[in-house]
A and B are shown apart, each in its own frame.
Chain A
Amino acid sequence: MKKLAIAIVDENKLLTIRLKLFLIQEELGSVKTYRSINELLEEKTGFDLTILKEEIFDYSLFEKLPDTIFLLISDEVKNTENSKIFYIDTNFTNAELKQEISIISFLKNYEKEVEEKNNKLKEALAYITNQEEMAANKQLNMIFDNMSFKKIENYYFDNYYSPKDKLSGDSYIAWHIDDKIYIVIIDAMGKGISASLTSTLTSGIGNYILQNNNSLKNFLENYIEYIKKILLDDEALCMTIFKLDLKCNEIEIANFGMPPIYIKKDYEVEKILTNNYPILKSSKREIVIDTYKKDFDMILISSDGLIESANKEGIPYFANLKSILPKTDFLREIIKDFKQNAIQDDDTTVYAIIKQQNNYEIIYEKSFFFSSKKDLDNIIHEIDVKLNEDETTKQKFYLIFQEIFLNIFEHAYRKNYDKQEILQKNQDFSDIKGEIHIKICKNEEYFNIIIKDQGRGFDVTNILKLENRNNFKRFHRRGLLVLLNIVCGLFFEDNGRIVHTFIRRKNGN
C-alpha cells in the first residue's frame, strides 16, 4: 500500500511532536508540519491527509485543498457521511490513531486506483473517438459523387447524407459519366464499424467497376460477386442501383431490399418497389433489372433512414413523405420537414433528381459590369426596386445576392482573396473588372435566380460533402451553408460560373 503524504497543522508543538513521532515510527507516511492553515496553503503542496484541530477547520478548505482528507481532532467525535472528513477524539490513543489512518490510507489508495483506471479509460475513449473521427472523414472521402449540387443538362441533382453516429452503415455513389447517371445507395446491415466498413468498401469497389462497365448488368454481376466475398455468414446488404440515360430518358433499376423509389410527376407520386432480395453471402438468385421510360418532375431514392425514422408519436416519416412529396419540387424542402418532424434513428441517405421545369417565366434579366463593392451594392438596389415581394422573400434575395457576389469577388477574379479582406474599408479593387449576368424567373410556387459570372470557376465536386457535419467553424464555404438554409435548391453549372438558386414564393403552396 502506498504511504500517505501527511500534513499536520497545529500551534501546539507538543501535539505535533507526538503525532509526527508516532506516524514516522509506524511508517504510516511522510509528514510535514505547519503552524497555521495559511502556512499550509502558501506551500501549495498536495497532501493525502491533513490532521488539524476541529476549531481551525472550515469548509472552504475543501475547495482550497481538493485532494486531501481531513482528520479533525475534536472533543466530540461525530458521525459524518462526508468521506473527506474523519474525526478522532482529542484524547486519542495511538491505537485509535493508527486505525483511523489505516482506513484513510485504504480509502486514498482506492481513490488513486479508481482515478488511474478512469484516466486510462478516458485515454482509451479519446483514442477511439479520434479513430472514429478519422475513419468517418475517410468514409466521406471515399464517397464518389460528381453530381450533387450540380445542374447537368436539364436536371438538377441534390443529396442528403446524414450518418446517425460518426460512422455510417450507409454509403453512396453518384456518378455522371458519358451521358449516363449512376446512383448507388448502399445500406449495410447493422451499425458501427463493421457496417461502415462493408458499405464503404462496396461503394469504393462499386465505383471502380462502374467506371469500367457501361452495361448495368455487367456492372452488377461483377459488383455482387465482390460483395458476396466480403460479407460474413450472417450479414446482409441492401442497395439500390439506379441508372438514367440522359440521351433517351431510359431508367434502369435494380433494388435489393431497399425502400421504394418515388417518382413524382404533376403532383402524383408513383412508387417503384424493390425487385431483388437483399444480398447475402449465399445469394444465388438471378439479378433483376427493370427498365422504364418515364417522364418525371422528381425522382427520390433513399435508404430506410428517411422513411422509417419516426415522429414523437411513433409514426414513421413515410406518412409525412406521402403528403409532402406531391407538393414540392425540391429535396431541401423534404429534408427540412424531415428534420422538423422526425427523430432520425438510422443512417439516412437520400438522392434526388429534379427535372428542369419549363413553366418559369423570366421577370428580370440584365448584365452588369462591376469593379467595386459599390457596383455590386447598386445591382442589389436596382433589383430591389423591381421586386414586389414581401419582406421575408426580399431578405432571401438580398442574402443570395450578397453571398454569391462575395463568392465571385473571392474566387472568380483574384487568387487567395479573403472574404474578410474584401469587407475591409479602402480596399483597392481596380484590378477587378467583372461581369455578372442575372436572370430571375418565377412559376406559381418558386423563384429561380440564376447568377452567371465570367470568372475562373471552381471545382464544384465534393464542395458540400461535409454539410451535415458539425464543422461549420472549419468550413471554408460558410456562404454556401448559409444559403442552403434558406433556399429550396442550390445548383452549379459550368464549373461553378453559373449558380441556380430556388426559393419558394410566399403565395406559393
Chain B
Amino acid sequence: MEIKQNGNTIEITGTIKTISDSEKIIDAVNSIKDDIIRIKIHDSYVLPSSIIGNLLRSIDNGKQIVLGVKSELLEELIKDLKLDKAFNLYRV
C-alpha cells in the first residue's frame, strides 16, 4: 500500500492489508490541519473499521471528510453502513 499526501488530500493506492497500513492512513488523516480532508482510495475494495472510526471521530472534531473511491464494492460497503452522506462519498 502507498500513501501520497498533498496538502489536505490523501491518495491511497494498493491494498490496505495490515494493521500497520491502517495505522499509516490514520496518521495521515490526523496530520491534516485543514477543515476539509480529501481521501481518494484507488485500489482497495474494503475499508477497516478502525479507519472508519477515525474518520467519524474527525467529523465529530469539526472536520469535513470527502471520500472518493474507485471500487464499486467499496462504494456499496460505505452506502450499506449509511455513511455515504457523512463521508461525502463519490466515485473516482
B-contacting residues of A (Cβ < 8 Å)?
373-374, 376-377, 380-381, 384, 391-392, 394-396, 398-399, 402-403, 405-406, 419-420, 422-423, 425, 470, 472-473, 478-479, 481-482, 485-486
Question: Do A419 and B50 touch (CB < 8 A)?
Answer: yes
Within 8 A of A (CB), among B1-46: 15-20, 22-23, 26-27, 44-46
Question: Do B48 and A394 touch (CB < 8 A)?
Answer: no
Question: Do A420 and B17 touch (CB < 8 A)?
Answer: no
Question: Do B19 and A406 touch (CB < 8 A)?
Answer: yes
Question: Do A406 and B50 touch (CB < 8 A)?
Answer: yes
* B contacts with A: majority SS: helix
Question: Do A478 and B17 touch (CB < 8 A)?
Answer: no
Nearest chain B CB to A481 CB, angstrom units: 7
Question: Do A373 and B53 touch (CB < 8 A)?
Answer: no
Cα separation A28 to B19 with both chains bound (whole Å): 73
Contacts of B64 in A (CB 8 A): none
Nearest chain A CB to B25 CB, angstrom units: 9
Nearest chain B CB to A372 CB, angstrom units: 10
**What is the total of A-B residue contacts with beta carbons within 8 Å?**
90
Which of A381, A399, A405, A485 has a CB less than 8 Å from the CB of B81?
Answer: A485
Q: Does B66 sit within 8 A of A, measured CB to CB?
A: no
Question: Do A482 and B48 touch (CB < 8 A)?
Answer: yes
Q: Does B89 sit within 8 A of A, measured CB to CB?
A: no
Question: Do B49 and A478 touch (CB < 8 A)?
Answer: yes
Question: Do B44 and A395 touch (CB < 8 A)?
Answer: yes
Contacts of B47 in A (CB 8 A): 482
Which 6 pairs from chain A and chain B are nearest by CB? A479-B49, A478-B49, A377-B18, A399-B46, A482-B49, A398-B17
Contacts of A392 in B (CB 8 A): 45, 73
Contacts of A405 in B (CB 8 A): 19
Contacts of A419 in B (CB 8 A): 49-50, 53
Question: Do B19 and A402 touch (CB < 8 A)?
Answer: yes
Question: Do A482 and B81 touch (CB < 8 A)?
Answer: yes
Question: Do B50 and A420 touch (CB < 8 A)?
Answer: yes
Cα separation A241 to B47 with both chains bound (whole Å): 40
Cα separation A46 to B60 with both chains bound (whole Å): 34
Closest to A394 in B: B15
